[in-house]
Amino acid sequence: MSTINGNGAAEHIDSSTTRRAPTPGKATVLAIGKAFPSQLIPQDCLVEGYFRDTNCADFAMKEKLARLCKTTTVKTRYTVMSKEILDKYPELATEGKPTITQRLDIANQAVTEMAKEASLACIKQWGRPAADITHVIYVSSSEIRLPGGDLYLASELGLRNDVNRVMLYFLGCYGGVTGLRIAKDIAENNPGSRVLLTTSETTILGFRPPNKSRPYDLVGAALFGDGAAAAIIGADPMTKVESPFMELSFAVQQFLPGTHSVIDGRLSEEGINFKLGRDLPQKIDDNIEGFCSKLMEKALGLSDFNDLFWAVHPGGPAILNRLETTLKLRGEKLDCSRRALMDFGNVSSNTIIYVLEYMKEELMNKENGEEWGLALAFGPGITFEGILLRNLNYERRDGLLILALSDKKAKTQSGFQSKGGSAAGQPAGGDAPLPLVRPEKRNFKPSSSFLHSFLSTTPILVIQIPIFSIFRALQEYINGFQVFDGSKTLVLVILSSPSSLSLDLGGFSSPNLFFHTCLRSSVVLGGFHVLGSVGG
């Protein structure tokens, strides 16, 4: 949509959204990227393919895996494992064969390729050159080598040789949130820094034939997937260059004493063996409320978990269901987590970034979306990782039109003067730029058909408020505004019913006449530039 600047030129401004300003010095998420291997497995095809590839004819175990596949709610997953790999390394599907060397050869290459692809997608979205990246955090529980994947990634991306690197190995499912926490600390303590966080995971290390002595393997076969994710984090984003959408406000890590064996992973000559205790959901259930309360109390004024948006690592449907019940969350609160689980499975450390991407999309399309939320993940330890998030995304306001104004003195042709305001044509505060403001009240009304003819040339914000005098209402409503940006743009409210509008129209006989006169004359009311009014 076009607006008219101080020189009479049209400027574009989004007609349905406003953005919250980042807190100075706080880390923000500036971009997100993801990548996957080429092999996409529909969950409906998994059981037949898995038992065929591993030459297993145990019908009871096959039925059990089929039940587990339905329970997980996963619909599709990506995997590095392929027919070509099994043809080259048939020993991977053979019980008891020492295959750790082969698995690492496959995994080390695969995670680097996926990490590079996710990082490039993230950098492209970010919009700045890769040379501006000052720090790299690389997270993986799927590779073992020296030097680590952090160096391989930095080299593949062509980053500067003085880029600061951090490698996080074998954290499991909470590694993505740990990476965000460390990126937050780096960004906030190194002014101007830009941190590339990349996670990359594959299930190659744990792939093996089904065995009755290892029932946990079937859970992994039904639940886990492969892929990579990336995010760029930095404080004090550059205006018009970077687009922050989430602020990392406060972070907490906590482990539960005496639970180190509930999630257990051990390397062997056959790969990695995982064991998940049946009491994992209950352990999380017993401790999650206090942990989340500790984070929520940092968002002053919030006392109900439903006042938050939720980005939870979907370790499995049982964990999400218990979390929803324990915290008394409304059904839709975990939609993004359930959607990520359905589309990708549990991709270990990557998954929280997939959830955040879905959350970004949801908040952009949600009218008056929540300002505060939590990112949560659970993993070996049992370890809880949590971050209090602040939504910087646009607040959608369907039917609302935003106006942009110059900081120059407004000139009037009508000689109109507001009650209690400055003389027409002289903004309060002289030449000082007008701040961007937003209403705290949310009683919005879509623009009427009367306004549509003005969309190309006349930006207008319409908000319905009960008033007896348009000027008194403006003054009272403006007092409820919150300044959140030092730009030269002003969002302004003017609306009343024709009957109330007629009380203070200064002799104009109708709202439309008043409206058109305001459009021509650019009236100033108490220092606020008025471009229009419409009756209710």
Strand partners for 35: 228
User: In terms of C-beta distances under 8 Å and separation of at least 24 residues, what long-range contacts does 414-420 make, across chains too?
Assistant: 414/517, 414/520, 414/521, 414/523, 416/506, 416/521, 416/523, 418/471, 418/523, 418/524, 418/525, 418/526, 419/469, 419/471, 419/472, 419/504, 420/471, 420/475, 420/526
CB 176 within 8 A of CB 349: yes
Q: Would you give the distance in Å from CA 338 to the centre of its chain?
A: 15
Nearest Cα neighbor of 498 from 523, 533, 451 is 533
Dist CA 336 CA 334 (whole Å) = 6
**Please, which residues bridge with residue 18 across strands?**
395
In terms of Cα–Cα distance, which of 501, 483, 504, 468 is closest to 429? 483
Helix spans in 405-497 (H): 449-452, 470-479
Tokens of 157: 């991306």
**Euclidean distance between CA atoms 525 and 273, whole angstroms:** 71
Q: Are 316 and 302 in contact (CB under 8 A)?
A: no
Residues carrying an active site annotation? 173
Calpha distance 382→374 (Å, rounded): 19
Count of alpha carbons within 13 Å of 96, Cβ hemisphere only?
1
Please state the length of the chain: 536
Three-state DSSP at 334 gives helix
The tokens describing 360, both together, are: 């970004």
Calculate ∠ Cα 480-485-491, nearest 5°: 55
CB 391 within 8 A of CB 373: yes
